Amino acid sequence: MEHLVAVYGSLKQGHFNHDLLKGSEFVGEDRLFEFTLYDLGLFPAIKRGGSESVLVEIYRVSTEQLHRLDKLEGYNQGEPHKSLYLRIEVESSFGSVWVYE
């Protein structure tokens, strides 16, 4: 199965975690509106709310790759309340995409 995922920060092209997307298909860039980007020091985070937008890259990934991204982002599907980030589905110009909030 394939999934669309929107990435920002260290997963974008040219950044140190981009290798986790090796073999995936780059679909394009987009802006997610009504999100705010935060600098948490070692890594960024986005949160719904505000009037800003966040520039993201959209990739088509396999289920295996999505699980690797979940691990990187500290997302636990079985216990999301214990997760560092939540994986949420939002609308983009390319349709529904997963993004880590």
Residue for token pair 């939002």: 90
Within 13 Å and on the Cβ side, how many CA atoms surround 32?
A: 26
- Structurally, the chain folds into a number of domains equal to 1
C-alpha span between 62 and 2 (Å, rounded): 5
C-alpha separations of 31 from 62, 80, 81, 86 in Å: 23, 25, 27, 19
Question: Under 8 Å CB-to-CB from 41, ≥6 apart: which residues?
Answer: none
C-beta of residue 46 within 8 angstroms of C-beta of residue 32:
yes
Provide the domain limits for residue 32: 2-100
Active site residue 64: no
Residue of 73, 89, 91, 101 marked catalytic: 73
> For each of the chain's 101 residues, which pLDDT tens digit applies?
899 999 999 999 999 999 999 999 999 999 999 899 988 887 888 999 877 899 999 999 999 999 999 999 999 999 988 999 999 999 999 999 999 99
CATH classification of the domain holding 54: 3.10.490.10
